[in-house]
Amino acid sequence: MTQKQSVVIIGGGPAGLTAAWELVKDGGSEQYDVTVLEATREFGGISRTVKHDGNRMDIGGHRFFSKDDRIMDWWKDVLPLQGAPSYDDKKLHREHDMEPGGPDPEIEDKVMLKRHRVSRIYWNRHFLDYPISLSANTLKAMGFKLTMVAGFSYLKSMVHKLPETNLENFYINRFGRKLYSMFFEGYTEKLWGRHPREISADWGAQRVKGLSITAIIKDMFSKLVGTKNNANAETSLIEQYWYPKYGPGQLWELVGKKAQEMGGEILFEHSVTRINTEKGSIRSVVCSTPQGEKTIEGDIFISSMPIKDLIGGMHGVNAEKNAKIQKIAAGLPYRDFVTVGLLVNKLELKNKTNKRTLGNIVPDCWIYVQDKGVKLGRIQIFNNWSPYMVKNPAETVWIGLEYFCAEGDDFWNMNDAECIEFAKKELIKMGVIKKGAVLDAHRERVKKAYPAYFDTYKHFDKVVDYLDGFENLFCVGRNGQHRYNNMDHSMLTSINAAKAIKAGSTDRSNIWNVNTEKEYHESK
């Protein structure tokens, strides 16, 4: 018999929990002692579900969809462990999975719901398609003159291509300068706190690889002739996805508990503050816990913690030799996130679509706010993600207002009452609600929600080479790779890491290469 290897996994989000599950399932706990170190008291990381007075919040919204069959099969394999139906269940495939009176009692035992995506842009008090399209509604809202200007601008971009040295040129090449200035420039600056010309084109290449006016026209045609489906659609244009009844945290709580049942250990409130290295390997990590500092040794380490903190916390390395790497890691930028949940009695937005909704609210999952006069970036309507997220979905609307900021700035430092009042005033200014409409509110702050692609990121390849020099270290997930991965990408990095560990391989190319291929996969 071979001696069991101890595997220490830093982080209990989608990447960390996927890695844990992959190593302990099918008798894997006979070969590996798996320990997950989670800094908070909850499973799921940014994919957790926040509970507040009977209502639930999804941090940023997580669509369960991927063009990679391994992920779709993974979800199918995991969910039946709780007696959940397979994705072939006829009840979930019907056109609507909720009735006008509220949640359908016939699906009380189901975990995943089939959702119909509606996301739109709120511009100049008009709803426009998201991603921006050439529909009659869009052209009417823009007016004849602006439409002609945008059209000629796009034609010019087809003939005269700009060098894609930054995100601004990336967008102009695909949409023309006019549409870029209307629907991308301000929103991108709102999201990242930087003008698009300061941001690497890598972000656009990763997030909207195949999206352009041409792709939108093809999408409209495929819908017209009835050939569109999620398999042949650009990912930003998908129209259906799966969603856990009680939010994404429901899945990750399930995965975490099953990993524990299979022999894995999960330690909550264990925040890694120091990484001890010796001769090109990680030997142990030091955690801050409610009981004081604790040192945990391991044979193999899987990290989903921010690379800035991982490298900054390393001890035992040659400080002089690695000064440049330390400087690059310390300069890696992030964008932080605040969401304000508002429970309201009514939205002033009218449902003029043919989509049936509970309570006749607008059918949107997200509303993208293209208004430079407000800080608000997106409005998430939880009722439309799942009626089970709302305590009283027939009579109230539970929304999340999404703000992008920097830890320590004026917005981040507002107290709860100030931030909630700020958010309410913006919605009233936009005409989304009236005074007195808010019944309850809650604020959540998330550090390092979005790894950013500027500043020292341009030297990130050196960081990858450095980290790969530690023979027993595998970096996975969004923050673990400083890559704006979606949930399925994060899971795939961990699936590939577990596969390499089982094979005894130190080749990490398949782990780092997730989400760099031409075809773009998405679950959020």
35 has a pLDDT exceeding 80? yes
Query: What are the respective helix, strand and coil percentages of the chain, to the nearest 5?
Result: 40, 25, 40
Q: Burial code of 419-430, b = ≥16 C-beta within 10 A, e = fewer?
A: bbebbbebbbeb
With 60 as the cut, is the pLDDT of residue 97 above it? no
Position 414 scores a pLDDT of 98
- Is the Cβ–Cβ distance between 16 and 304 less than 8 Å? yes
Indicate whether 224 pLDDT > 70: no
Average pLDDT over residues 231-247: 68
How high is the pLDDT of residue 339? Answer: 97
pLDDT interval class at 99 (50, 70, 90): very low
pLDDT number for residue 211: 55
Question: Comparing 100-104, 206-210, 378-382, 511-515, which segment has the lowest mean pLDDT?
Answer: 100-104
Q: Per mean pLDDT, which range of 60-74, 83-97, 112-126, 495-509 is the poorest?
A: 83-97
CB contact at 8 A, 71 and 523? yes
Predicted confidence band of residue 515 (pLDDT cuts 50, 70, 90): confident
Q: Please state, rounded to an integer, the average pLDDT across all residues of the chain.
A: 86
Q: Looking at the predicted structure, is the pLDDT value of residue 1 above 60? A: no
Count of beta carbons in the 10 Å neighbourhood of residue 272: 22
Comparing CA positions, the residue from 110, 73, 117, 63 lying closest to residue 90 is 110
Which of 68-77, 225-234, 272-281, 373-382 is predicted least confidently? 225-234
- Tokens 């069959």 locate to 69
- Determine phi and psi for 339, rounding to 5 degrees: -120, 135
Give yes or no for a cis peptide into 85 (omega within 30° of 0): no
Pairwise pLDDT comparison (82 vs 126), residue with the higher score: 126
**Residue type for position 69:** D
Residues 6+ apart with CB under 8 A from 289: 267, 269, 270, 271
Q: Locate all alpha helices (DSSP H) within 374-459, ordered by sequence.
A: 382-385, 416-430
Q: Would you say residue 105 has pLDDT above 80?
A: no
Do strands 271-278 and 314-315 pair parallel, antiparallel, or not at all (unpaired)?
parallel
Q: What is the pLDDT of residue 225?
A: 46
Put residue 176 in one of left, alpha, beta given phi > 0 → left and psi -120 to 50 → alpha: left
Query: Is 421 a residue whose pLDDT tops 80?
Result: yes
Q: Is the dihedral of CA 96, 86, 21, 520 positive or negative?
A: negative
Specify the pLDDT at position 520.
41
The confidence score (pLDDT) of residue 232 equals 43
E strands present in 100-194: 102-103, 112-116, 119-123, 126-129
Q: pLDDT of 449-467, one tens digit each?
A: 999 999 999 999 999 999 9
> CA 67 to CA 73: how far, in whole Å?
11
pLDDT at 183: 87
Which pLDDT score, from 0 to 100, does residue 300 have?
98
Distance, CA of 346 to CA of 343 (rounded, Å): 9
Confidence class for position 208, pLDDT limits 50, 70, 90: low
pLDDT at site 506: 92
User: CA 385, CA 247: separation in Å to the nearest integer?
Assistant: 8
pLDDT in tens, 241-275: 888 889 999 999 999 999 999 999 999 999 999 99
Cα–Cα distance measured from residue 180 to residue 166, given in angstroms and rounded to the nearest whole number: 13
Check pLDDT > 60 for residue 235.
no
What tokens appear for 399 in the block?
């929304």
State the pLDDT at residue 108: 56
Question: Is residue 222 scored above 90 in pLDDT?
Answer: no
- Position 228 pLDDT exceeds 60: no
What's 236's DSSP letter? G
Tens digits of residue pLDDT in 181-194: 988 899 999 999 99
Reference 44, options 483, 403, 477; nearest CA is 477
- What is the reported pLDDT for 76? 81
Q: Has residue 81 got a pLDDT over 70?
A: no
Confidence at residue 405, expressed as pLDDT on a 0 to 100 scale: 97
> Amino acid identity, residue 125?
R
